[in-house]
Amino acid sequence: MRRLNAWTAGLHSLEDRVRKVLFVSKPIAPPFHDGTKCLVRDVSSQLQGFQPMVMGQPGVYERPGGVTLPVYKGAGGFSPPFADNARAALHLLTRSAADVWHFLFAPNALSSSVGRFARRVRRVPTVQTVASPPQRFRGASKWLFGDIVVAQSAWTARQLMSQPMAPHVEVIPPCVGDLEDVPWETQVAMRELLDVPPDAPLFVYPGDWETSTGAEVVAEAAAGVTRSVPGAVVVFACRQKSAAAKHIEVAMKRRLRTLRVRFAGELNSILPLIATSSAVLFPVDDLRGKVDLPIVLLEAMALGVPIVVATGGPLDDLQSAQRVPARDPEALVQAWITLVNHPECRNQLIRGGKAEVAERFSARRVAHQYELLYERALRLTG
């Protein structure tokens, strides 16, 4: 009887033990200007059945109920240095005590080979999220190593599964956490900072300078919209991710100096600019280096700001967006004019965007979808 009680107590102990999931990603620490870091931050904060463990610096970023592991030395950039990647690999191979690993990075030969090797050696159930579309899909299937592979848009999933020997790919979109309303005073201050009149229609391009044709399309359309929409101002809010970006920005300032165009650069928070804008423009035809559905677009939808996106690619997953053909400045101008002159169209996009974020892109919903995959990964390898 004593043995039976001991066995039962052990069984309950196993059932009650908190299961842990380790997020293998860039350092999770401010500033949160990277879509993958935002995804880990928001999903990990909403887990119910697993304790989240993230890689970063203890004391720099902590969340109740979570664990920050001392893996990285700094907050990291858009491309983590080799030393950081090496520390992450060493942790996986020698120290990790998680029940499930969740990898989140853009597929590449080195990181995928390390992930595959660590999974084989440690035999830990693994979920792999393709953080952004690869530069080329041909041969990309060899970089997919997870027990379960996740893409963040239906388009990327189709491209991956069209490759020879590709596994099945699940689709779970990015998410946005709960956003507080941006105070009116903060919006006014942002307009004053950029020298934009309080009542001027303001259109924001928050994409990259160099990766896609998005910035060029907006630049070509700027003359048309500032002529057609009285008082309209176009704002480029672009980060300089590479040396080329600085040169492009300088040339763009010279080229557009006679138009009502502003250059915000990298802001501490882009939300005040988004909240005070008439629309967010994202005619982007190449999402390399970004999550499939950029977080700034989901934030705009949540804040009740219409978005204009290019057709084709991952952005087709957004149901509540004004669509324009890629590389078509004239179509972009017409979309701007429609949003200013037709309030019913604008209001429809606002209502649809808020509802879509609540139904599809909330952090709580996306975290629940991932927890179901963690459970499945444990069953597959148990």
Residue 242 or 249, more confident: 249
At 324, list the tokens: 């324009």
Question: What is the C-alpha to C-alpha distance for residues 341 and 224, in angstroms, rounded to an integer?
Answer: 15
Q: In the predicted model, what is the mean pLDDT of residues 123-149?
A: 93
End-to-end CA distance of the chain: 29
* pLDDT score at 5: 53
* pLDDT score at 186: 97
pLDDT-derived band at 12 (thresholds 50, 70, 90) equals: very low
At 150, list the tokens: 């996740």
Asked if pLDDT for residue 333 goes beyond 90, the answer is: yes
Global pTM value: 0.90
Asked if pLDDT for residue 3 goes beyond 60, the answer is: no
> What share of the chain has pLDDT > 70, as a percent?
94
pLDDT-derived band at 322 (thresholds 50, 70, 90) equals: very high
pLDDT-derived band at 243 (thresholds 50, 70, 90) equals: confident
Give all strands of the β-sheet with 233-236 in edge-to-edge order.
261-263, 233-236, 202-205, 279-282, 307-310, 322-324
* pLDDT score at 109: 86
* pLDDT score at 326: 94
* pLDDT score at 78: 53
For residue range 112-133, list pLDDT tens digits in order.
Answer: 999 999 999 999 999 999 999 8
Asked if pLDDT for residue 11 goes beyond 70, the answer is: no
Neighbours of 192 (CB within 10 A): 11
Q: Look at 10-19, 172-181, 330-339 and tell me which has the smallest mean pLDDT.
A: 10-19
Asked if pLDDT for residue 7 goes beyond 70, the answer is: no
* pLDDT score at 8: 43
**Quick one: CA torsion of 348, 194, 283, 256, rounded to 10 degrees?**
130
For residue range 166-221, list pLDDT tens digits in order.
Answer: 999 999 999 999 899 999 999 999 999 999 999 999 999 999 999 899 999 999 99
Q: In the predicted model, what is the mean pLDDT of residues 94-123?
A: 93
pLDDT-derived band at 83 (thresholds 50, 70, 90) equals: confident
Asked if pLDDT for residue 75 goes beyond 70, the answer is: no
**What does the mean pLDDT of the chain come to?**
91
Asked if pLDDT for residue 240 goes beyond 90, the answer is: no
User: Taking each helix axis from N to C terminus, what angle separates 329-341 and 214-228, rounded to the nearest 10 degrees?
Assistant: 50
pLDDT-derived band at 30 (thresholds 50, 70, 90) equals: confident
Q: Look at 2-16, 38-52, 76-90, 100-114 and tell me which has the smallest mean pLDDT.
A: 2-16
- Residues contacting 134, CB < 8 A, separation 6+: 106, 107, 108, 140, 143, 288
* pLDDT score at 13: 44
* pLDDT score at 15: 46
The type of residue at 256 is L
Q: What is the DSSP string of 136-168?
A: --TTGGGG---SEEEESSHHHHHHHHTSTTPPP
Question: What is the C-alpha to C-alpha distance for residues 300 and 280, in angstroms, rounded to an integer?
Answer: 7
* pLDDT score at 14: 42
pLDDT-derived band at 80 (thresholds 50, 70, 90) equals: low
The candidate with the shortest Cα–Cα distance to 143, out of 121, 120, 166, is 166
